[in-house]
Amino acid sequence: MISQDNAEWVPESLDTMEPGHELACVLSAINVNECIGYDRVRVLRAHERMRSFYSAALYQDMTAIVDAVDTEDMPTPFKEDAASAEVAAALKWTRRTADNELGFAIDLRERLPQVWAALTSGEIDLRRAKVLVFGTTHLSKEVAREVVDSILDRAHRYTTAQLQARLRKACVEANPEDAAERYESAVEQRMVATQVDESGTVHLFARDLPPHRLAAGMKRVNGLAKSLRRPGEIRTMDQLRADVVLDLLEGTGVATRSGRGTVVIHTTPSELAGLTNRPGELDGYGPVIADIARQVAADQVDGEWRWVVEDPDTAQPLAIGTTRRRPNAAQQRLVETRDRTCIHPGCRMPATESDIDHNIQRSQGGPTHTGNLAPLCRHHHVLKDNTSWSYRAIASGDYEFTSLLGHTYTTSGQSP
Total count of residues recorded for the chain = 416
Q: What pLDDT does residue 154 have? A: 94
Give pLDDT tens digits for 168-222: 999 999 988 888 888 899 999 999 999 988 888 999 999 999 988 888 888 889 8
pLDDT average, residue stretch 26-41: 95
Mean confidence (pLDDT) of the chain: 85
To the nearest 10 degrees (0 to 180), the angle between helices 37-70 and 95-110 is 90
What does each C-alpha distance from 335 to 56, 224, 229, 312, 397 come to in angstroms? Answer: 43, 24, 26, 20, 12
Q: Which residues contact 251 (CB under 8 A, 6 or more apart)?
A: none
Give the pLDDT band (50/70/90) at residue 223: confident
Q: What pLDDT does residue 312 have? A: 66
Give the pLDDT band (50/70/90) at residue 229: confident
Give pLDDT tens digits for 352-395: 888 899 998 877 878 888 888 999 998 999 899 889 999 999 98
Q: Is 398 helix (H, G, I), strand (E, B) or coil?
A: coil
Residue 261: pLDDT over 60: no
Q: Which of 71-80, 140-149, 250-259, 315-324 has the highest mean pLDDT?
A: 140-149
Selected residue with higher pLDDT from 226 and 414: 226
Residue 295: pLDDT over 70: no
Q: Which residues contact 390 (CB under 8 A, 6 or more apart)?
A: 384, 401, 402
Give the pLDDT band (50/70/90) at residue 71: confident
SS (H, E, C) 307-320: EEEECCCCCCEEEE
Q: Where along the chain do its domains lie?
A: 12-174, 210-260, 263-326, 335-411
Calculate what percentage of the chain has a pLDDT beyond 70: 79
pTM equals: 0.73
Residue 303: pLDDT over 50: no
Selected residue with higher pLDDT from 1 and 224: 224
Residue 266 bridge partners (DSSP): 281, 308
Q: What is the rounded distance in angstroms from the CA atom of residue 22 to the CA atom of residue 125? A: 19
| DSSP one-letter code for 29 | T
Q: Which residues contact 157 (CB under 8 A, 6 or more apart)?
A: none
Q: What pLDDT does residue 326 have? A: 32
Helix (H) or strand (E) segment spanning residue 207: strand 202-207
Residue 325: pLDDT over 50: no
Residue 150: pLDDT over 90: yes
- Inter-residue contact 47 to 14 (CB < 8 Å): no
**Do β-strands 263-267 and 305-310 pair in parallel, antiparallel, or remain unpaired?**
parallel
Give pLDDT tens digits for 1-30: 566 666 778 999 999 999 999 999 999 999
Selected residue with higher pLDDT from 209 and 299: 209
Residue 299: pLDDT over 80: no
Residue 152: pLDDT over 90: yes
Q: What is the rounded distance in angstroms from the CA atom of residue 261 to the CA atom of residue 215? A: 10
CB-CB neighbours of 46 under 10 Å: 22
Q: What pLDDT does residue 234 have? A: 92
